Structure 1
Amino acid sequence: MTVEDCVAFAASIGANGIEILPEQNIATFPNVSDAEVGAWQEMVARHGCELTCYDMFLDTKLRRDHVMSDDEQVESIRRDLVLCNRLGIRNMRVLVFVRPDILARCVPYAEELDVHMGVEVHAPWHIEHAWILRTVEEADRLGTRHLGLLPDMGIFMKHYPPVWRARFEREGACPEIAQFIVDQHEAKIMAEYTIYEVAVKLKGNPTEVRMAETLRHSPYSNPKRIRDYIPYFRHIQAKFYEMTPDARDPSLAYDEVIPELIAGGWDGYLSSEYEGNRWVQDVEAVDSREQVRRQHVMFERLLGETGRETA
């Protein structure tokens, strides 16, 4: 599929908000011409869509000759804010490791360009993690509406993903130990305890230990707490690993989170982020379009809209 094929498909299922990763989607990045900016805007408009979020990257430790200085980091972020504004986008996803004090220095640029910098709240972090709250504290200290959070729904993993378990079993995890790991996650036992149990007490093989280690990145945040942080975000990345044929997510607590967003009066986009492909591509052809379509059927149901057929 071309990029325009992807946009056309999104429009066909009623998903008219398009999130863009310029470093991957625009070949001439960061030197993007006005003509290229115009071409992107015209392309999404042709399909009745709009650009909703700009995903920035800050590879501070990947410079060949040195680690980026604070000034270089600020300049890199300013460059992204400028391009985000030129594309007509008002939300920018910021990677979770970017220091709050660096972002504070970028707030004047964000305010001038009217772009909200949302720090991605990505597993294993959660909304009330001390590192995440530092960004909230900076936003409050500066009294700005242009710095906040961008939740990734992977932080609401209520149940262990079936596609994860199936992949580990195909790679050699025995069903009994896999079930033990799933049960530990269901009981929300600290990941390190489970890893120890599997590696030492159960003498798990390397695959079983790797499965246990996924628990470090599988938090279940309290959905009721998201409402308190609605003022700090403008966009949401709707992570998911699998949608069942009846358009339900077996792992992430969307049926609890979306009612909280509605009750909190939040009005914005949830941007589908399907990451189940890597867990099934060893045994079947990946049908990302069908998975995304099912997620949007779920969204319609949870929003109380008239949903399409699930199959």
Structure 2
Amino acid sequence: MSTIQRGVSLYSFQEEYFLRTMSLEDCIRAAAGIGARGIEIIPEQSIPGYPHLTDEFVDAWFGWMHKYDTTPVATDLFLDTKLYPGRWLTLEEQVASVHRDIDIAVRLGATVIRAIINTPPEVMEAAAPYAEEKGVRLLLEVHAPFHYSHPWIEQHLEVMHRLDTPALGLMPDMGTYVRRFPRVVSERALRDGAKPELVDLIVKTYDDHGDSHALMDIVNYRGGGPVDFGLARQATHYIWSDPKLMLSYMPLIGHIQAKFYEMTDDGVEYSIPYDEIVPLLVEGGFDGYLSSEYEGNRHIQDAYPVDSVEQVRRQHAMFARLLGEA
């Protein structure tokens, strides 16, 4: 039987949290109610007074974990590499920032920290001893349009292999496996005034795995407007790669960002083939969390009610089916 566990990034409920129709406790309750027992939190988004954690917040946090039978799993690290008005942070300042985020994760009981893709490899290397001392893992998010053979990722892999420390690893974002252009994105572009023929061209080029990087020029030649250019640019931010490539990196993979844009009424993700991905994770012996990351809200909020909880519920029903849960 698979040891893969199910969780959710509270980022998935950003629409409701921003509009104050759901509190932080409501988000945790909703996650537990759909069987997503592992909680991933973005401290900057969800903790009043970040980066300062009050005793009252920490007490409430662990109270919710106990009340709803959930587990703190991961925090998300955002590394600001510049200070206003434009000075780059020194290496020492960046490492100090990561140390601060490690301390926050430890205080919240999380054992995994998502290191955002722009975190330099030298920062990961310098922060690794502190992470190992504190018993947490810094996992670099492999986020589209990056992939495992990209020079930036290869620089990180060199550090991970050379240090051979449990403190460093990878967190693949399933947005690197977008087989079909997300329909919620193209439909939003149409509502915003994009030319239907250019939308069709962009979607078809992407779905056929054509040269999406040439789309900006083609849209220009075809007299496209700002919305058309935006959609063409978006096409370069999605990628499709073979999910089987994850098998080679499985010893380094400690957490999965289960990105999704649209769970259909049929219980499948429109763009990302989870029916191929989940069996591969099982085959590779992955034993961490599949953590939902819903990003469809921003593409439908102009025209439809956003129900992030229902979307996440559908994804976890799919996960339960693919994992063979009763």
Q: Which region of structure 1 is more displaced relative to structure 2, 6-15 or 229-238? A: 229-238
Q: Could you tell me how far 1:273 is from its partner in structure 2?
A: 1.0
Q: Could you tell me how far 1:203 is from its partner in structure 2?
A: 2.7
Supply the RMSD in Å over aligned alpha carbons: 1.5
CA contact (8 A) 1:136 1:232 kept: no
- Residue 264 of structure 1: aligned partner: 284
Report the TM-score when normalising by structure 1.
0.94
Number of residues of Structure 1 aligned to a counterpart in Structure 2: 305
CA contact (8 A) 1:127 1:151 kept: no
Equivalent-residue separation in structure 1 for 2:81 and 2:215 (angstroms): 33
1:190 aligns to 2:211 (yes or no): yes
Match of 1:269, as an amino acid?
Y
Report the TM-score when normalising by structure 2.
0.90
- Residue 238 of structure 1: aligned partner: 258
Q: Could you tell me how far 1:127 is from its partner in structure 2?
A: 2.7
Unaligned runs of 5+ in 1: 307-311
| SS of aligned partner of 2:88 | coil
| SS of aligned partner of 2:50 | coil
- Residue 128 of structure 1: aligned partner: 149
Equivalent-residue separation in structure 1 for 2:282 and 2:154 (angstroms): 23
Equivalent-residue separation in structure 2 for 1:291 and 1:227 (angstroms): 28
Equivalent-residue separation in structure 2 for 1:177 and 1:84 (angstroms): 45
- Residue 36 of structure 1: aligned partner: 57
2:40 to 3, 13, 19: 19
Q: Could you tell me how far 1:305 is from its partner in structure 2?
A: 2.2
1:93 aligns to 2:114 (yes or no): yes
Q: Which region of structure 1 is more displaced relative to structure 2, 234-243 or 121-130? A: 121-130
1:66-105 matched pairs, under 5 angstroms: 66-105=87-126
Q: Could you tell me how far 1:30 is from its partner in structure 2?
A: 2.1
* Consecutive aligned runs of 4 or more in structure 1 exceeding 6 Å deviation: none
- Residue 193 of structure 2: aligned partner: 172
Q: Which region of structure 1 is more displaced relative to structure 2, 206-215 or 280-289? A: 206-215
Give me the identity figure in percent. Answer: 45
Match of 2:254, as an amino acid?
R
Equivalent-residue separation in structure 2 for 1:193 and 1:128 (angstroms): 22
| 1:215-255 Cα deviation digits (max 9, x unpaired) | 11010121110111111121111111111011111101212
Indicate the structure whose relative CO is greater, using CA pairs within 8 Å and at least 6 residues apart. Answer: 2
Equivalent-residue separation in structure 2 for 1:33 and 1:213 (angstroms): 42
Match of 1:62, as an amino acid?
L
